Amino acid sequence: MRDAFRHVTESIAHKCAPTGIRIPIARPRDPMSQNISPLAGKPAPTSILVDVPKLLAAYADTRPDPSVPAQRVAFGTSGHRGSSLQGSFNEWHILAITQAICEYRAGKGIDGPLFIGFDTHALSRPAFESALEVLAAHGVPTMISSGDEYTPTPAISHAILMHNRGRTSGLADGIVITPSHNPPDNGGFKYNPTNGGPADTDITKWVENRANALIEGGLKEVRRMPFAQARKAAGTREHDYLDRYVTDLANIVDFDVIRSAGVHMGVDPLGGAGVHYWAPIAERYQLDLTVVSDKVDPQFAFMSVDWDGKIRMDPSSKYAMQRLIGLKDRYDVAFACDTDHDRHGVVTRSGGLMEPNHYLSVLVDYLFRHRPQWSADAAVGKTVVSTALIDRVAKRLGRKLYEVPVGFKWFAPGLFDGSLGFGCEESAGASLLRRDGTAWATDKDGLVPSLLAAEITAREGRDPGELYRQLTDELGRPFSNRVEAAATPAQKAKLARLSPDQLHTDRLAGEKIEQVLDKAPGNGAAIGGIKAIAASGWFAARPSGTEAIYKIYAESFKSEEHLQGLLDEAQKIVDAAIA
């Protein structure tokens, strides 16, 4: 539903408006027929495929202009991202960021190995080569993937935690090179510190500022060596991420119950970093698992087009997932992961592609009933914009709810020390503890939730889609949606600073507002926006960390009509607040 009802407000009125003033635009009455590209869900035409040679040439040749904000290093919720064609992800960025990371490690006394890996985006391999040139020049012991195999994000987090277990010195950290599910012309680069999860703001801001200073100085302080020399450096060592990760999966997924039930599974890696992980998983654990496609193509020409006419490897999008949706009746349950395999999408025979919030609710309900070795105090983690059905599930389970701002970094400490059994965000990202209650990965893991869909089907005798319907019969059915609208930097800053006393109303869609939040209940951190809660629904508004837009999330436990009322009133509240 998120994709089918996504609104992208036209920007033409903003171009005519004075700076800092937004002219509200009436949304179409039939959003399903508006703003959705005619290409959505169809095979990608050659006209929209990225020119890979041009992309790679721009990576090597373009020098970012630090006076242009869009060309500066900028760490959002998932590292620095951009496109070489727009001067926002180029060799200079990677050299500067890696130099800054080396300096950060030295300053903090981090002297263990650095685990590094890259996904299948065209810009990821050259970014890896640039990074290794700097790491080797600094003598950083660097663990690269055996045979230059692609590396999923969770495999890097898992490797960091495995190395650091029981250690107090010689701790490891990592670099993940991926723009996640973003289009083929994008690149991404993020740092995971010694807890294995995404770096917190205090780290990323330091790295960002230092990297920009290095670029402004013409990279004169950057140390590097030729890639061929870096590849053979004494500190550069191969690490078999695939075997270590796959071998350890039995400690987090119950493969015995899957195998005994004979669950017939299908997986579409969407040409991502875990493309070569699935066959070894099937072989090692003797699973009835079919890999729909193992094709890797930097243009991702095999994808169906996403809602806005772009290619995007989003396993939660019904448009991008057309291939697997079309095969749903062949399998008891099927699943896919995005390009770095840190997000999941589950396709059931009973209902097709599940909404992320729907499957996450089922996961919470299942895991906390079938992981007896987890601590009785282990909490359920969710972001403030994830479904309130999870709140209801947690309450029924007698589990503490830990609600945090958007960003998986907020879950890393709890997943590290076991105080969180499970952490999730509404964009299909999640991680959890091992079956014995110890840490598995403190970054998002797409493979494990996918495999858990099969475990759930095996143990419950029904697929997750059927279990979701049972859950809503018992706890209430949510109707949810997300709206996006263009916003200037000044407007985004206003929205991020919005406080409860700036909401000049005590009613929301006919109900009394019970609570207004600008800080997350779980950890007291600013949510970078606002959330208003009534008895039967809520809305949250926050600026995007990576795009010139703001987002409004809403959920009703009454009806689609009530949901639309929530969105309409939320839009008015936000417009008034940022005008």
Q: How far apart are CA 482 and CA 425, in angstroms?
A: 14
Nearest to 577 by CA among 490, 513, 507: 490
Closest alpha carbon to 481 in 423, 535, 440, 541: 541
Angle at 180 between CA 524 and CA 292, to 5 degrees: 130
Q: Helix (H, G, I), strand (E, B), or coil: what is residue 543?
A: strand
Q: Is the pLDDT of residue 540 over 70?
A: yes
Q: How many helices (H) and strands (E) does the chain have?
A: 18, 24
Q: How many CB atoms lie within 10 A of CB 513?
A: 17
Given a cut of 90, whether residue 9 has pLDDT beyond it is no
Q: Is the pLDDT of residue 278 over 90?
A: yes
Find the range with the poorest average confidence among 104-118, 267-281, 426-440, 531-545.
Answer: 531-545
- Give the DSSP H/E element, type plus range, for residue 508: strand 507-508
Q: What angle do CA 483, 485, 490 make, to 5 degrees?
A: 135
Residue 339 has pLDDT above 90, yes or no: yes
The one-letter code for the residue type at 328 is: K
pLDDT average, residue stretch 46-52: 98
Least confident of 67-81, 135-149, 199-213, 406-420: 67-81
The secondary structure of 128-193 as a DSSP string is HHHHHHHHHHTT--EEEEGGG----HHHHHHHHHHHHTT-SSS--EEEEE--TT--TTEEEEEEE-
546 DSSP assignment: S
pLDDT, position 125: 98
pTM: 0.93
The closest alpha carbon to 142, from 110, 183, 179, 174, belongs to 174
Residue written as tokens 């507002």? 513
Label residue 101 by pLDDT band (50, 70, 90). very high
**pLDDT mean across residues, the chain:** 92
pLDDT band, residue 109 (cuts 50/70/90) = very high
- Tell me what pLDDT residue 546 has: 64
Section 197-214 average pLDDT: 96
Q: Specify whether the CB–CB gap between 173 and 141 falls below 8 A.
A: no
Q: What is the pLDDT at residue 579?
A: 77
| Count of C-beta atoms within a 10 Å radius of residue 80 | 26
Lowest-pLDDT range, 71-80, 256-265, 334-343, 525-534?
71-80
Q: What is the residue whose two structure tokens read 């999640």?
A: 430
Q: Cα–Cα distance between 407 and 411 in angstroms, integer?
A: 8
pLDDT at 488: 85
pLDDT at 29 over 50: no
Closest by Cα among 467, 477, 493 to 577: 493
Q: Cite the active site residues.
A: 180
